[in-house]
A and B are shown apart, each in its own frame.
Chain A
Amino acid sequence: MSVFTIDHVKKTFTNGEIEEEILKGVNLSLKEGEITALIGPSGSGKSTILTIAAGLQRASGGEILFEGKDMTKMSQEEIRHVRATDFGFVFQSSHLVPFLTVEEQLQLMLDVAETKTSKKEQAKAIDEMLKLVEMQHRKDAYPSSLSGGERQRVAIARAIIHRPKILFADEPTASLDTKRSKGVMELLQELTRTLHLTTLMVTHDEEMLRYVDRVITMRDGYIVE
């Protein structure tokens, strides 16, 4: 069943008098419980469509349907609310808040998502999530003292602690070595299954495609297969 639909989405960047069309009408739908991978050469528009879908930037045209609502017509505040409650995002270079410990990163996400649970329940949820990503032993550590793989695991935990419906991941293994990349992908696969997430990720590493359910290839702003 499709939970998220991208319909003929376009994105045009204007640089002075030059207009460059990055996305030329992208159609895509995501199914619950599946990991969908977007692949393609640099400049094909895969990261752009991911960030537009995640509500991090606006589309120039087309529709993005989530739970029956067109996100392209939502106000900034409505999009923020969707990002805070229904979406999770894993960035290429983790982008953790540098002055918060691992535990505080997750607490921040729960606060932002305005989960109506008690502090005790929140602490339990954080503990469980850290156990799930095998980071419980580093819960008091700051990002600067974590390895690249550990940072990415914390970033994944932060992206899903509030139980979002859709997880977006932009090249989550790009800054990791092969062993750590596999660890992160196994984790994403397991979490997508166990938490019934819908995951859309961008990758350039074909090695990682064996962990995904569906592969979509982009080229020159179009989906080609």
Chain B
Amino acid sequence: MKIAWKEMKKSKAKFLILGSIIFLVSFLTFIISGLANGLSQDNAALIKDLPDGQFYLSKDADSTYNLSKIDEEVQKQILIDNPNATAFSVQMGFVNDAEDKQHSVAFVASTESKLFENVKDGEIVLDSSLKEDGIEVGDVLTNNQFSGEFIVKGFVEQQKYSHAPVAFIGMTNYQEIYRVMEMQTIFIPGKDAPTLSALDSFSNKEFLHAIPSYSAEQMSLNMIVWFLVIISGMLFAIFFYMMNVQKIGLYGILKAIGMKTISLFKMIWYQMLVITAISLVLSIALSQAFSFVTPEGMPFHLTMDTVWMLSAVFMTVGFIGATISGIQVKKIEPLQAIQQGEM
């Protein structure tokens, strides 16, 4: 590997250019991925942040959350049978502040639960993004469909639904606003949640797709991210391939003096590994730093799981590109390689 390292040291500019291309491409992929994840969080953080479990919708809802209404008697029995179960509803709406300015929110009402904010009637707990609109603890908010007033009792972090801040309210208040007595869904946390014959059940992932617009939005975003990953991957592979094909004359000389093919492969892989690793470390660091400087309104959420997964993809395609060029080097006779290098 000494020879591979010596080449990198001597031809700094060439490897720096290649490394910076890999850095920029991977950084772009991380940023786009972070923005896509951010939008996804912005759309359904309320649901995504719940622990693994089962969601239940009424059978006639046709797997669409908005159409689900759970019969009060059925709900009552389920809550008795499953002490951890929570019935809840989420509906889009507005609150008016003291200056009668409207703020779009997603009202959430639930039965008593550790998973949601438990608020009394006449109280409201809001997502902290509404602080930017000047709302403070103790403010009084109103709603056109609600006869009473809401007193702001506090704020919660990162609770969004359908790109709107969540507003936790009491069940009675919710029933008055939406003129409905039934809750839309029941959630039972845990892996061994029961199958309920009266209701359709959904895993967390399946339930996200029951939210209108979530699937369509996620499919578009995932398509963008994966196209970018594929294009970046191909770029990686092509760059490593081109770099090694350009050096075919050198490999010819090394073959001519009797260097083993496996040593040539190790040289190619070592350089690929070093360049890709350094570029990825830099782009991971910068993309994490980016999350601290993003404007408040810009949803950006890049998890380390995503970072490792994308890094593994880049490493794999880099390896494939380098190996393909290595196979080219393996096949060619030394003299032919030297002559090609001279052209």
Which of A51, A95, A142 touches B253 (beta carbons < 8 Å)?
A95
State whether A57 and B336 are in contact (beta carbons under 8 Å apart), knowing that A83-B257, A158-B257 are contacts in the complex. Answer: yes
State whether A100 and B338 are in contact (beta carbons under 8 Å apart), knowing that A56-B256, A84-B258 are contacts in the complex. Answer: no
Binds A, one of B5-13, B114-122, B195-203: B5-13
The chain A residue with its CB closest to the CB of B6 is: A99
Which of A56, A87, A112 touches B335 (beta carbons < 8 Å)?
A56
The chain B residue with its CB closest to the CB of A47 is: B335
The answer to whether A100 and B6 have CB atoms under 8 Å apart is yes
Chain B positions within 8 Å of A112 at CB level: 254, 257-260, 263
Q: How large is the interface on B (under 10, 10 to 19, 20 to 34, 35 or more residues)?
A: 20 to 34
Within residues 203 to 260 of chain B, which ones have a CB less than 8 A from any CB in chain A? Answer: 250, 253-260
Chain A positions within 8 Å of B259 at CB level: 84, 112
A100 to B253, CA, bound (A): 13
Cβ-based interface call for B293 (8 A)? no
Chain A positions within 8 Å of B336 at CB level: 57
The answer to whether B258 and A97 have CB atoms under 8 Å apart is no
A173 to chain B, nearest CB (A): 19
Within residues 95 to 151 of chain A, which ones have a CB less than 8 A from any CB in chain B? Answer: 95, 97-100, 104, 108-109, 112-113, 142
B46 to chain A, nearest CB (A): 57
The answer to whether B253 and A97 have CB atoms under 8 Å apart is yes
Cβ-based interface call for B80 (8 A)? no
Cβ-based interface call for B62 (8 A)? no
Chain A positions within 8 Å of B263 at CB level: 112
Write the A78-102 contact mask toward B (1 if CB under 8 angstroms, else 0). 0011111101010100010111100
Cβ-based interface call for B3 (8 A)? yes
Cβ-based interface call for A58 (8 A)? yes
The answer to whether A85 and B258 have CB atoms under 8 Å apart is yes
Which of A85, A97, A142 touches B254 (beta carbons < 8 Å)?
A97
Cβ-based interface call for B334 (8 A)? yes
The answer to whether A97 and B250 have CB atoms under 8 Å apart is yes
B229 to chain A, nearest CB (A): 33
Which of B9, B254, B338 touches A91 (beta carbons < 8 Å)?
B338
A26 to B11, CA, bound (A): 43
Residues of A within 8 A of B (CB): 51, 56-58, 80-85, 87, 89, 91, 95, 97-100, 104, 108-109, 112-113, 142, 158
Q: A57-B335, A97-B253 are in contact. List 4 more A-B contacts (CB 8 A).
A: A56-B334, A84-B259, A91-B256, A99-B9
15 contacts between A and B (CB under 8 A): A56-B256, A57-B333, A57-B336, A80-B255, A80-B260, A83-B256, A91-B253, A97-B3, A98-B250, A99-B7, A112-B254, A112-B257, A112-B258, A112-B260, A113-B258
